[in-house]
C-alpha cells in the first residue's frame, strides 16, 4: 500500500479580511487577447443559443472571464505526465509546487470538472487534451480498485482525505464521471466504459454510507465529504446510474438534520466546529425538495386550489396531493433551505475558519450550486459576492491557494474555477434539480 510520509509542520496563516459591499473589478490588460470560453453543450442556454428562462441566466463578467482564463492556464501547466494532478500530503502542506506532489483521484476530478465547466470538452476546446488525459487517469483508478473497497486509490494521508474524509476520492470521481458522460456521444465504447465506472463508484459510495446517511471515514471536516457524496449521488441518478433511492434520501436527511431552521443553529461536531461547513451542505441537500415545494405551490395557486397567501406548510402540501409523510418531509426541506441559505451567506459565517482554505471554497460551491438547483433567483447576488471575493485574492501566477488545512494550489484553483464558471453550467444544474 502506498502511504504518504507524515512530517509534522506548522503552517502559518494570515487572516484575509473581505468586504461584502459592491466594488468595481480592476483587471490589468492581459498580455494576449482574452480567450472566449468555448461553447460546449452545457453552455447553450447561457450563450443564447437555446430557449430558456432568460431571467435566470447571468453572463460572466469580462473581469471574471479573465480570471478564469488565467487559472486554466496555470492548471494546464500543473498537469503531470500520467494525466493527474495532486494536492500533496497533509503533513507537507507547505509544498506549493504542483509537480512536487503525488497525483490523486480527488484532486484530478476537481480539476477535470473545472476544465469541463469552463468550456472545454472531450472533442473541442483549448484544454481537450488535458481533459482526455484526466478522464483516462480516473477510469484507470476506478478499474484497478478492488471491488470490496470503499475508495478507488491506495494512497492515504492526502490533504483532501485528511481534511474531508478517507473516501473523498471516489465521491469526487463519481461526480466528474456524471458530468462528463454527456460528452461521450462521439465514442460509444468510451460512453459504456464511463457508465460502468460511474456505477462502480456509486456502489462504493453507498456501501460506505453509515446508517444515518453520512459517509464513513470522516476527516477534520467530514461533513463536507458527506455533503459531496449527496451531490455525487444526485448527479449519478440524473445520468441513469444505479442509485438506491433510500440511500440517497438518507444522505439528504443527514445533511438537512445538521441545521435547525427554527433556531438557525447548525450541528458542527462533524464539521470541525465551523458553521459554514455544515450549513452549506444543508442548503445543497434541501434545494431539490425545496424547489418542488415552490413549484407545486405556484401551480396550486394558479389553478385556484390554494389561496395566493397560502404558506408552504405541511398542511397545505397535503391539500394539493402530497401524502402526510411527504408533506412533512418536503415542508421541512423548504424551511431548512430558506433559512440555511441565508445563514450560509452571512458575513460571519462566510469567514469559516477565519481565513480561506479549500474547505471554505468547497462550502461556497455547495451553497451556490444548491441555489441554482433550487431555481432561486438570488443565486446571482451570491455569485456577485463570491466572484468578487475570489478575483481579489487570486495569485499573480493565476492560481489560488489555501491558508489553512487544504492549502493545495491545485485543489483550491480548481474549486475557485468551479465557482467562477458556475453560471456557464446553469442549464445542467437546473435540469438536475427537477424531480421526476
Question: pLDDT digit of tens for each residue in the chain (436 aa)?
Answer: 444 433 333 334 333 333 333 333 333 333 333 344 433 333 333 323 333 467 787 788 899 999 999 999 999 999 999 999 999 777 676 776 888 999 999 999 999 999 999 999 999 999 999 999 999 999 999 999 999 999 999 999 999 999 899 999 999 999 999 999 999 999 999 999 999 999 999 999 999 999 999 999 888 777 889 999 999 999 999 999 999 999 999 999 988 888 888 888 877 777 667 888 888 999 999 999 999 999 999 999 999 999 999 999 999 999 999 999 999 999 999 999 999 999 999 999 988 766 677 889 999 999 999 999 999 999 999 999 999 999 999 999 999 998 777 899 999 999 999 999 999 999 999 998 887 6
Coil/strand/helix, residue 426: helix
pLDDT at 337: 95
Of 9, 8, 10, 12, nearest to 354 by C-alpha is 12
CA distance 98 to 96: 6
- Of how many residues is the chain composed? 436
- Strand, helix or coil at 222? helix
Q: Please state, in angstroms and rounded to a whole number, the distance separating the CA atoms of residues 417 and 116.
A: 10
Give the count of beta carbons closer than 10 Å to the beta carbon of residue 49: 11
In the prediction, which pLDDT does 88 show? 74
User: Structural domains in the chain?
Assistant: 62-246+356-432 (1.50.10)
Burial of 212 by CB count in 10 Å (0-12 exposed, 13-18 middle, 19+ buried)? exposed
For position 76, what pLDDT does the model report?
A: 98
Q: What is the model's pLDDT at position 53?
A: 65
Contact, 223 vs 258, CB < 8 A?
Answer: yes
Residue among 237, 279, 401 at smallest CA distance from 229:
237
pTM given for the model: 0.85
Helices (H), 58-104: 62-78
Amino acid at each position: 500500500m502506498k502511504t504518504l510520509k507524515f512530517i509534522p509542520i506548522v503552517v502559518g496563516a494570515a487572516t484575509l479580511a473581505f468586504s461584502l459591499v459592491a466594488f468595481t473589478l480592476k483587471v490589468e490588460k492581459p498580455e494576449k487577447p482574452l480567450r472566449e470560453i468555448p461553447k460546449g453543450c452545457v453552455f447553450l442556454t447561457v450563450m443564447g443559443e437555446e430557449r430558456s428562462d432568460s431571467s435566470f441566466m447571468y453572463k460572466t463578467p469580462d473581469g471574471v472571464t479573465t480570471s478564469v482564463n488565467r487559472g486554466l492556464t496555470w492548471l494546464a501547466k500543473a498537469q503531470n505526465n500520467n494525466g493527474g494532478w495532486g494536492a500533496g500530503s497533509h503533513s507537507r502542506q507547505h509544498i506549493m509546487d504542483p509537480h512536487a506532489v503525488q497525483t490523486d483521484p480527488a484532486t484530478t476530478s476537481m480539476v477535470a470538472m473545472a476544465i469541463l465547466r469552463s468550456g472545454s470538452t472531450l472533442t473541442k476546446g483549448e484544454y481537450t487534451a488535458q481533459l482526455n488525459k484526466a478522464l483516462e487517469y480516473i477510469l484507470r483508478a476506478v478499474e484497478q480498485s478492488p471491488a470490496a473497497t470503499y475508495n478507488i486509490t491506495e494512497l492515504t494521508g492526502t490533504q483532501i482525505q485528511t481534511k474531508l474524509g478517507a473516501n473523498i476520492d471516489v465521491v469526487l470521481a463519481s461526480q466528474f464521471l456524471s458530468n462528463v458522460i454527456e460528452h461521450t456521444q462521439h465514442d460509444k465504447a468510451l460512453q459504456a466504459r464511463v457508465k460502468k465506472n460511474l456505477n462502480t463508484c456509486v456502489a462504493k459510495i453507498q456501501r460506505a454510507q453509515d446508517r444515518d446517511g453520512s459517509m464513513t471515514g470522516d476527516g477534520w471536516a467530514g461533513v463536507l465529504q458527506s455533503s459531496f457524496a449527496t451531490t455525487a449521488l444526485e448527479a449519478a441518478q440524473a445520468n441513469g446510474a444505479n442509485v438506491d433511492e433510500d440511500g440517497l434520501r438518507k444522505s439528504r436527511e443527514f445533511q438537512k438534520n445538521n441545521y435547525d431552521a427554527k433556531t438557525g443553529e447548525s450541528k458542527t461536531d462533524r464539521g470541525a466546529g465551523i458553521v459554514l461547513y455544515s450549513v452549506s451542505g444543508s442548503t445543497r441537500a434541501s434545494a431539490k425538495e425545496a424547489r418542488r415545494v415552490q413549484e407545486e405551490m405556484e401551480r396550486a395557486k394558479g389553478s385556484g386550489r390554494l389561496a395566493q397567501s397560502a404558506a408552504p406548510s405541511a398542511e397545505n402540501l397535503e391539500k394539493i396531493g402530497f401524502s402526510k409523510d411527504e408533506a412533512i418531509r418536503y415542508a421541512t426541506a423548504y424551511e431548512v433551505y430558506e433559512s440555511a441559505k441565508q445563514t450560509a451567506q452571512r458575513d460571519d459565517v462566510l469567514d469559516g475558519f477565519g481565513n480561506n482554505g479549500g474547505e471554505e471554497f468547497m462550502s461556497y460551491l455547495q451553497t451556490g450550486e444548491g441555489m441554482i438547483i433550487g431555481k432561486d433567483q438570488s443565486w446571482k447576488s451570491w455569485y456577485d459576492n463570491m466572484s468578487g471575493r475570489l478575483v481579489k485574492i487570486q495569485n499573480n501566477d493565476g492560481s489560488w491557494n489555501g491558508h489553512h488545512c487544504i492549502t493545495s494550489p491545485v485543489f483550491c484553483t480548481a474549486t475557485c474555477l468551479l465557482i467562477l464558471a458556475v453560471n456557464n453550467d446553469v442549464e445542467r444544474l437546473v435540469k438536475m434539480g427537477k424531480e421526476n
